């Protein structure tokens, strides 16, 4: 299935097809000089398939984990591009999760003022969320995603077969973002979680999430309004994520962070889903630290009141101005 994405800065196609990695010739050219960026946690068999297809391909393997979204790893990739005499007609292919995609996309966006970028996401989170929408970034000076660009890929290739090697915890991590999209924008997606096991209907979950994300980024490419709905659960989630000191995955923090943003009726419906998915309802971390981390995060983006996304019933949302005291109360609800 080909899903077109149209944004003000240009359009591209998302290929959503099982075994797409074995049929790359149907979607991209083989002769373009390629720097393939992947990490050492992504099974080598996937990189082998891509590099076997590309006639002129250099593989750049970075260490797995968020720490690689750094200026040092960016320099490492840019050096590979310079040393390998990559030019304006060359391309970068990202093969990995959101870390590889954000970093390689940013490298492609700045090298020679922008060369072709293709994203082949291999985590569920990257397939349903980070590979679409054109946000690229690295972390800098201790602040997540603070240096980056909006840069659209020329193609996104999603092969859900690669999820077979992804650890269960990482699958659940991606599903938290999928539930976020169901809760705010797609009632039927929410019902997939409520009535059964979303991992059994993973292709449908991916497709529904892509439809939600595309409809949002097409209307608001650069996050001036509507796109903020994708931050549902993230304000509190980020505070917890920093305070928990790396013990919890991003999606696990978002899952916890969504609960205070829901009506009490909806929270009751969510309880069995969280149990089924293995997500905690509260974070075990220092409450004050979580509150401080959240405010520090907000301060670096302008301070003052913030806008939070609330959900009273599945498939709906509203934006609400939230002051410091209320935000502290919401965080307190999420921490034990």
Ligand X SMILES: NC(=O)c1ccc[n+]([C@@H]2O[C@H](COP(=O)([O-])OP(=O)(O)OC[C@H]3O[C@@H](n4cnc5c(N)ncnc54)[C@H](O)[C@@H]3O)[C@@H](O)[C@H]2O)c1
Query: Of 7, 34, 97, 229, which one interacts with ligand X (CB under 6 A)?
Result: 97
Asked about 19 being catalytic, the answer comes back as no
Segment contacting ligand X by CB under 6 A, of 106-114, 126-134, 190-198, 305-313: 126-134
212 touches ligand X (CB under 6 A): no
Q: Using CA atoms, how far apart are residues 152 and 336, in angstroms rounded to an integer?
A: 41
Task: Work out which of 130, 231, 308, 322 binds ligand X, going by CB under 6 A.
Answer: 130
271: exposed, middle or buried (C-beta count within 10 Å: 0-12, 13-18, 19+)? exposed
Q: Does 102 participate in binding ligand X (rule CB under 6 A)? A: yes
162 is a contact residue toward ligand X (CB under 6 A): yes
User: If binding means CB under 6 A, how many residues of this protein chain bind ligand X?
Assistant: 29
How many C-beta atoms lie closer than 10 Å to residue 33's C-beta? Answer: 17
Q: Residue 38 or 322: which CB sits closer to ligand X?
A: 38
Q: How far apart are CA 200 and CA 145, in angstroms?
A: 33
Sign of the torsion formed by the C-alpha atoms of 222, 224, 230 and 235: positive
- Residue written as token pair 């994520």: 241
Q: Dihedral angle at the C-alpha atoms of 174, 179, 184, 185, nearest 10 degrees?
A: 80
Residue carrying the six token digits 């002129």: 56
Give the separation between CA 156 and CA 137, rounded to whole angstroms: 17
Who contacts 194 (Cβ-Cβ below 8 Å, separation ≥6)? 269, 272, 273
According to the binding rule CB under 6 A, does residue 125 interact with ligand X? yes
Q: Which of 24, 115, 126, 270 binds ligand X (CB under 6 A)?
A: 126
Instruction: Count the residues in the chain.
Output: 336
Catalytic residue among 80, 91, 155, 213: 213
Spatial neighbors of 305 by CB under 8 A, at least 6 apart, are 321, 322, 323, 324
Residue 22 binds to ligand X (criterion: CB under 6 A)? no
Which of 15, 93, 119, 133 is the binder for ligand X (CB under 6 A)? 133
Beta-sheet pairing, 155-158 with 143-150 = unpaired
Give least dist CB 228 to ligand X, A: 13
Is 239 an interacting residue with respect to ligand X (CB under 6 A)? no
Does 44 sit near ligand X (CB under 6 A)?
no
Q: Which is nearer to ligand X, 243 or 328 (CB)?
A: 243
Residues 137-156 that bind ligand X (CB under 6 A): 145
Which positions are catalytic? 113, 135, 177, 213, 223, 227, 231, 234, 238, 250
Interacting residue ranges for ligand X, rule: CB under 6 A: 39, 41-43, 64-66, 69, 96-100, 102, 122-123, 125-126, 129-130, 133, 135, 145, 162, 165-166, 170, 173, 250
């Amino acid at each position: 299935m080909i899903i077109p994405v149209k944004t003000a800065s240009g359009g591209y196609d998302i290929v959503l097809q099982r075994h797409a990695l074995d049929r790359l010739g149907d979607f991209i050219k083989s002769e373009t000089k390629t720097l393939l960026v992947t990490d050492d946690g992504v099974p080598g068999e996937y990189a082998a398939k891509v590099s076997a297809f590309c006639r002129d391909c250099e593989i750049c393997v970075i260490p797995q984990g968020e720490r690689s979204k750094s200026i040092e790893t960016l320099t490492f990739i840019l050096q590979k591009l310079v040393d390998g005499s990559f030019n304006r007609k060359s391309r970068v292919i990202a093969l990995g999760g959101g870390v590889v995609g954000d970093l390689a996309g940013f490298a492609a966006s700045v090298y020679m003022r922008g060369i072709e970028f293709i994203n082949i996401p291999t985590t569920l989170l990257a397939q349903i969320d980070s590979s679409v929408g054109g946000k690229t970034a690295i972390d800098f000076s201790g602040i997540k995603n603070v240096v980056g660009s909006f840069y659209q890929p020329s193609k996104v290739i999603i092969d859900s077969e690669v999820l077979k090697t992804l650890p269960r915890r990482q699958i659940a991590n991606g599903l938290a973002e999928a539930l976020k999209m169901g809760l705010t924008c797609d009632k039927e997606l929410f019902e997939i979680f409520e009535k059964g096991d979303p991992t059994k209907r993973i292709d449908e979950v991916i497709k529904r999430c892509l439809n939600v994300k595309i409809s949002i980024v097409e209307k608001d490419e650069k996050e001036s309004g509507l796109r903020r709905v994708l931050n549902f659960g993230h304000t509190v989630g980020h505070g917890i994520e920093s305070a928990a000191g790396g013990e919890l995955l991003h999606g696990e923090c978002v899952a916890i962070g969504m609960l205070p943003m829901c009506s009490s009726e909806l929270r009751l419906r969510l309880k069995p889903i969280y149990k089924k998915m293995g997500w905690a309802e509260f974070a075990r971390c220092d409450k004050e630290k979580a509150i401080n981390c959240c405010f520090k995060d907000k301060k670096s983006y302008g301070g003052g009141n913030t806008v939070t996304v609330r959900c009273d019933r599945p498939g709906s949302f509203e934006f609400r101005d939230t002051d410091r005291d209320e935000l502290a109360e919401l965080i307190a609800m999420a921490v034990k």
